[in-house]
Amino acid sequence: MTPASQRIELVCPAGSLPALKTAIDNGADCVYLGFKDATNARNFTGLNFDARQMREGVDYAHARKRKVLLALNTYPQSANWADWTAAVDRAAALGIDAVILADPGLMAYAAKTHPQLRLHLSVQGSATSYEAIAWYHERFGIQRAVLPRVLSLAQVEKVIANSPVEIEVFGFGGLCVMVEGRCALSAYATGESPNCNGACSPGKHVRWEQTPRGMETRLNGILIDRFGANERAGYPTLCKGRFEVNDETYYAIEEPTSLNTLEMLPELARVGVSAIKIEGRQRSPAYVAQVTRVWRAALDRLALDPASFRAQPAWMAELNKVSEGQSHTLGAYYRPWK
């Protein structure tokens, strides 16, 4: 359990070295990142870190007394087990501040081989109860758990009150209708599991095509969306596509919107949240800068005067500019009946 008076850490995404430096320069307490391979759940071309970039990024953060968290949050298979254990070894050698893991076998390896390495339970682990979190803590020594975005605030409070580890929650960014990235839709369409291969809608299956009816986006040949001349053609993911249902075309599975809990900060602090995570390793350094600045200002304001904290309209406006669909939601956190 984390005392409510403890300072909340701001954990920001770093899909590249420029994004890492931008996050640090704009006030992130921690950045989270991944290697350029399938060991992380954002395994997209052009993202993530090679050995030189990772060394430079860790040095840059540590020189400014900030932390680096490494996402090794996909699930290895028997044929590639050595790639995942080698990633844990590299993390330890680099002096990474914590490794974010989902697979229990990999946790066992890390705990046994590198007992000094701090372990965090990934949101991909889908631990929604304090009993599950306690099991990971007792068995593998995890020191923080990232909660899935399916719990109400009352449920988050109960988990924190009974958990032996720090609790991190998502504060801002994209949402997913699947079980925290376990995308059966993408796996069905492409034959590649995001939780094993590290990418929802892998780039090699994505196509944009200008047609007389508009810009069409496809995933492995499946039409995901068609955009008009003045619409931005988004990346094709099945959950956020527009489909024809009963002669009506609309977002049949999920409306594009972003989670934004800025107005809930006093409540998140009260229940004892240790860290707020910003989603978006696939987003640009400009996105990272804009979101990090707003959340740094908000957390600093909260620390100065919790009783009078209010989410400023200017902050909300800035965040809406980079939200999916230019709109936001409190998601599962706010359930009036809970």
pTM: 0.91
pLDDT of residue 3: 47
At a CB cut-off of 8 Å and minimum separation 6, what does 99 contact? 69, 70, 72, 88, 91, 110, 117, 118, 119, 120
CA dist 197 and 203 (Å) reads 12
Question: What parts of the chain have a pLDDT lower than 50?
Answer: 1-4
Dist. CA 332–CA 330, nearest whole Å: 6
φ and ψ at residue 69, rounded to 5 degrees: -110, 130
- The per-residue pLDDT for 32 is 98
Query: In the prediction, which pLDDT does 179 show?
Result: 65
Taking 3-state DSSP, the helix, strand and coil percentages for the chain, each rounded to the nearest 5, stand at 40, 20, 40
Q: To the nearest whole number, what is the mean pLDDT of the chain?
A: 91
CB-CB contact of 74 with 38 (8 Å): yes
Burial class (CB in 10 A: 0-12, 13-18, 19+), 267: middle
Q: b/e per residue, 106-136, with b = 16+ CB within 10 A?
A: bbebbbeebeebbbbbbbbbbbbebebbbeb
pLDDT value at residue 336: 62
Is the distance from CB of 228 to CB of 249 less than 8 angstroms?
Answer: no
Q: How far is CA 200 from CA 144, 165, 186, 240, 338, in A?
A: 25, 30, 6, 12, 32
Q: Which residues are annotated as a binding site for [4Fe-4S] cluster?
A: 176, 183, 200, 239
Backbone angles phi, psi at 227, to 5 degrees: -110, 140
Question: Could you tell me the two tokens for 242?
Answer: 């527009």
Contact 10, 24 (CB under 8 A): no
> Domains of the chain: which residue ranges?
9-175+257-333, 184-250
Q: Do residues 134 and 163 lie in contact, with contact meaning Cβ atoms separated by under 8 Å? A: yes
Binding residues: 176, 183, 200, 239
Strands 9-13 and 214-219, bridge-based pairing:
unpaired
Asked if 267 contacts 213 with a C-beta cutoff of 8 angstroms, the reply is: no
Interhelix angle 104-113/130-140, nearest 10 degrees: 40
pLDDT of residue 178: 66
**Whole-angstrom Cα Rg for the chain:** 20
β-bridge pairing 275-278 and 206-211? unpaired
Q: Which residues of 30-45 are buried (b: 16+ CB within 10 A; e: fewer)?
A: bbbbbbbbbbbbbbbe
pLDDT at 46: 87
Matching residue, tokens 């810009």: 215
Q: Do 253 and 238 meet the contact criterion of CB atoms below 8 Å apart?
A: yes
- Superfamily holding 9-175+257-333: Aldolase class I (3.20.20.70)
Predicted confidence at residue 252, as pLDDT, reads: 85
